[in-house]
Structure 1
Amino acid sequence: MSDTVTRGIRIIVQPRFVAEQSDPDRSQYLFAYHITIRNEGEQTVQLLSRHWVITDGEGHVEDVRGPGVVGYQPVLAPGEEFQYTSGCPLTTPVGTMHGEFNMVVPDTRETFDARISPFRLAVPTALN
């Protein structure tokens, strides 16, 4: 799990292994992660884009960037939250993810990155 606050924007990540869509014999492991983005600040913000750094168990790094999240660029007034679930395939039973969401304050057009702290993707039996 990951729980990080940047300028009043709390990002909580809850990852899980999706065994029914994985095939360890073929080195295919699917992980889902549930994200909660909560505006605990005093200004309305909009999520513009995402940036993920995905590292597998062998140290291979993939940099993923794109607009919004799951097709949305949510606007969050103070006290509001947005939740979504997405997935990440790996070829190893263990890996990590971290990144940031680029946010804008519509009133001032000021942008900032809301940090997503590193979290572990792991097959439950892979770690002691």
Structure 2
Amino acid sequence: MFQQITKGIKISVKTTFNGKVYRGYQEYYTFSYYISIENNSKNTVQLLERYWTIFDALNNIEYAEGEGVVGETPILKPNEEYNYRSNCFLLSNTGAMMGHYKMINFETSEEFLVTIPTFQLTTTPTLN
């Protein structure tokens, strides 16, 4: 599991390989990633936007951004947790993702970025 804490917001990520699929004539390796967002701060926050950089072993880089996650902009009170699952398609059997969420603190109206730790997408477990 990959974890990162920014301003009291803890991001945890787990990944799984789902197999290969074809889209048209192109073969893709499919992965799921499971993200837990824990509000360990003393303030209520809301996730507004997401920003991703996605790499694969063939040196392809893709950027993805948008409002919320999986169609939601969750509000987390102190000590609350939000979990979701999403998917990624790569042309190679290994890659990585990294990014950040834009959030807002309801008490101060401050917008801030929360780092999503870089995590590996691989078809087989890799040992360091």
Normalised by the size of structure 2, how large is the TM-score?
Answer: 0.91
* Aligned: 1:96 with 2:96: yes
Equivalence for 2:47 = 47
Residue aligning to 1:36: 36
4+ runs of 1 displaced by more than 6 Å?
none
For residues 38-95 of structure 1, the C-alpha deviation after alignment (integer angstroms, 9 at most, x for no partner) is 0011111000000010001111111100000001100000000000000000010000
Is the partner of 2:104 in helix, strand or coil? strand
Shift in Å at residue 107 of structure 1?
A: 2.1
Q: What's 2:70 paired with?
A: 70
Structural RMSD (CA): 1.8
**Corresponding residue for 1:8?**
8
Residue 3 of structure 1 aligns with an amino acid whose one-letter code is Q
- The structure where strand makes up a greater share of residues is 2
Query: What TM-score does the superposition give when structure 1 sets the normalisation length?
Result: 0.91
Instruction: Give the Å deviation of 1:14.
Output: 0.3
Using the TM superposition, give the Cα deviation of residue 2 of structure 1 relative to its aligned residue in structure 2, in angstroms: 1.4
2: CA distance, partners of 1:2 / 1:99: 13
8 Å CA contact retained: 2:94, 2:122: yes
Whether the 8 Å CA contact 1:47–1:103 is kept in 2: the answer is yes
Structure 1 window deviating more from structure 2 (67-76 vs 104-113): it is: 104-113
Contact 2:8–2:39 at 8 Å: present in 1 too? yes
> Does structure 2 conserve the Cα–Cα contact (< 8 Å) formed by 1:27 and 1:92?
no
Structure 1: runs of 5 or more not aligned: none
Identity %: 38
Which structure shows the higher helix fraction? 1
